[in-house]
Amino acid sequence: MTTALSSIRDMGLRAKKAARVLRSLPTKRKAAALRAIAAQLRARQGEILAANALDVQAAEANGLPAHMVDRLRLTATSLETIAADVEAVSHLPDPVGERTEVRTLPNGLSAQQVRVPLGVLGVIYESRPNVTVDTATLALMSGNAVILRGGKETVHSNAALEDALHAALKAQELPADAVQVIRDPARERMLELLKLDDCVDAIIPRGGAGLHRYCVENATVPVIVGGIGVVHLYLDSSFVQDAGDIEKAAQIVLNAKTQKPSACNALDTLLVGRAALPKLPEVVRPLLRAGVTLKADPESLAQLAQAGLDAQPASDADYGTEFLALTASLKVVEGLEEALDFIAEHGGHTDVILTRDDAQAARFVQDVDSAAVMVNTSPRFNDGGQLGLGAEVAISTQKLHARGPMGLRELTTSKWVVQGDGQVRT
């Protein structure tokens, strides 16, 4: 068990040693370890939920926002879902050892590019104990060791989950140091992790913009930035020409905002083409029924008022804001080009167009420079599980190494293996 008194450097050295074991581990043994983790989560349900209840009670007493408490809370159902997700990852193709480039050179050398684990990951996150298991699962299956630093609000939950993970690893005769949780929530421990560049190969923050900025500004370890960004949906007039499409638009918008409002891929800003404005009340009425607060610019505010629907006037600060709650902003744009300009200024995570015009869809996909660009569907599908990657450690919004949901493949890198028979360079 990792104690609060363990120095971060000691943890890093132990993780580095464990990573040497993991990187050569056969797929079958990694999959068996994941199945053992799922079994431990189920066997220890009572103690895990009891520990989580302590965290939830403390969070509510300390006035943690409702969407953060929602991310923090575990139930018997959600814990079973987590265990099932672990088992699902155990069945995914193992990227380690995959040959991505194979060539024979004119001098007879055989050169192969082989996919290998990154090594040791440092993952920093807030309010989501499910991330502890998701990240450990993906790290192990991709042959990586991981050091996890959750927020102070998850200290009891993460301790109980680490105990379950260690029990599973020991049962499989694997090093428990492959997964370590920093139980001391002091910010100084996080700073030490960010500077542990001789042991840790990548830092992956999951949380708000402030956390990401802190990591980028203070780390000497490479940081993979992601999970933050404003999600836009542009409604083109071609998608509101008949009742069937209007109903589809309403359901997509409703799903985008309310299916999980605290998620990073939930809708933040609805951009409405001016020609589609008369149909806006029909599209957003289900949102209002679901308790969503709409912050609207003058044109959309007037259109909604005319239909007897309530909204609040939007301020400039309501655009470019990731709400993570049952709140969304509305803005009328002249058409596609103005929508593209707006998204270029405020987007980067997930952006959607609803249109029946193939040329407009193609222009949108080509122009929007985001981690995921979607046509005629909900942004909630920008998710590792939904895109067939299994669980994800984060959604990267940067362009180096990985972009979009980070599953098993995104937690690997490559090395060249060259074989010869006495060749020398001249």
Q: Of 31-35, 145-149, 344-348, give the lowest mean pLDDT range.
A: 344-348
Coil, strand, or helix at residue 74? coil
Quick: pLDDT tens for 200-252.
Answer: 999 999 877 788 889 999 999 999 987 678 999 999 999 999 999 999 999 99
Name the CA dihedral angle for 113, 117, 119, 121, rounded to a multiple of 10 degrees: 130
Same domain, 278 and 151: no
Same domain, 209 and 157: yes
Cα distance from N-terminal residue to C-terminal residue, the chain: 55
Tell me the average pLDDT across 83-97: 94
Same domain, 160 and 243: no
Q: Does a structural domain hold residue 326?
A: yes
Tell me the average pLDDT across 331-348: 95
161: pLDDT strictly greater than 80: yes
pLDDT at position 302 is 97
pLDDT at position 172 is 98
Average pLDDT, the chain: 93
Helix (H) or strand (E) holding 194: helix 187-194
4: pLDDT strictly greater than 60: no
82: pLDDT strictly greater than 90: yes
Strand partners, 269: 232, 329
Would the CA dihedral through 341, 346, 350, 355 be positive or negative? Answer: negative
Q: Does a structural domain hold residue 221?
A: yes
Beta strands in 177-316 (DSSP E): 179-181, 202-206, 232-235, 269-273, 293-296, 312-313
Quick: pLDDT tens for 407-421.
Answer: 899 999 999 999 999
Full-model pTM: 0.84
CATH of the domain at 216: 3.40.605.10
Same domain, 264 and 173: no
pLDDT at position 323 is 92
- Cα separation, 216 vs 398, in Å, equals 12
2: pLDDT strictly greater than 60: no
pLDDT grade for 5, boundaries at 50, 70 and 90: very low
Same domain, 305 and 189: no
pLDDT at position 402 is 84
- Percentage of the chain exceeding pLDDT 90: 83
Same domain, 403 and 331: no
Contacts of 101 (CB under 8 A, 6+ apart): 111, 112, 113
Q: What is the DSSP letter of 106?
A: T
CATH of the domain at 282: 3.40.309.10
pLDDT at position 227 is 63
What is the DSSP secondary-structure string of 401-420? Answer: S--EE--TGGGEEEEEEEE-
Of the two residues 4 and 286, the one the predictor is more confident about is: 286
Same domain, 50 and 183: yes
Beta strand pairing status for 404-405 and 232-235? unpaired
Same domain, 34 and 85: yes
Domain that holds residue 274: 232-381
User: How many structural domains are present in the chain?
Assistant: 2
CB-neighbour burial class of residue 345 (10 A; exposed 0-12, middle 13-18, buried 19+):
exposed
Same domain, 122 and 259: no
pLDDT grade for 401, boundaries at 50, 70 and 90: confident
Q: Does a structural domain hold residue 98?
A: yes
Single-letter amino acid code for the residue at 222: P
